[in-house]
């Protein structure tokens, strides 16, 4: 299995509900290693780049507003097959559809915002992870030890 590094963003709902430690523990219990972690406010520019695939949609201002409600926590997480494994741990993007035992099933919102207020963003491919890690971490902020 390939050793990969992925980006996780703890979204404002996770930060506001004080879930970061609980969710991080699930990732670590699964055997993944933290290679970088930081709290940050997301600018309009970084959000427009990160969400470029929806930046022209009428609902994007709501997404931007949500992602700026609190700081987020960016996490660089390493492990074998970590990209797909983390997405399995999280469950589907829509928290309503997420099974109990998954992170979104246990902690995501169960209302009309269930696709947005869903605890974490996680990279969906090796290519996305590489681009997203560069977007949220500067050179020297991801560590090997």
Q: Which residues are catalytic?
A: 121
Please give the helix or strand (H or E) that residue 129 lies within, else none: helix 126-136
CA of 21: how far to CAs of 15, 28, 68, 73, 97, in Å? Answer: 10, 10, 20, 11, 24
Sequence-separated contacts (24+) of 95-98 with Cβ below 8 Å: 95/119
Do 113 and 79 touch, CB atoms closer than 8 A? no
- Chain centroid offset of residue 77 CA: 11
Residues 6+ apart with CB under 8 A from 10: 19, 20, 23, 72, 73, 74, 75, 119, 120
């Amino acid at each position: 299995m390939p050793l990969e590094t992925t980006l996780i963003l703890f979204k404002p709902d996770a930060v506001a509900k004080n879930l970061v430690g609980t969710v991080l523990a699930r990732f670590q219990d699964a055997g993944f290693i933290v290679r970088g972690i930081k709290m940050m406010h997301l600018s309009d520019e970084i959000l427009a780049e990160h969400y470029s695939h929806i930046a022209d949609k009428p609902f994007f201002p709501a997404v931007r507003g949500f992602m700026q409600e609190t700081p987020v926590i960016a996490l660089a997480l390493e492990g074998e097959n970590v990209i797909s494994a983390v997405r399995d741990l999280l469950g589907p993007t829509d928290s309503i559809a997420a099974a109990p035992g998954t992170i979104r099933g246990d902690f995501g919102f169960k209302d009309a915002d269930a696709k947005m207020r869903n605890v974490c963003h996680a990279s969906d491919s090796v290519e996305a992870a590489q681009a997203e890690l560069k977007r949220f971490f500067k050179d020297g902020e991801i560590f090997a030890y």
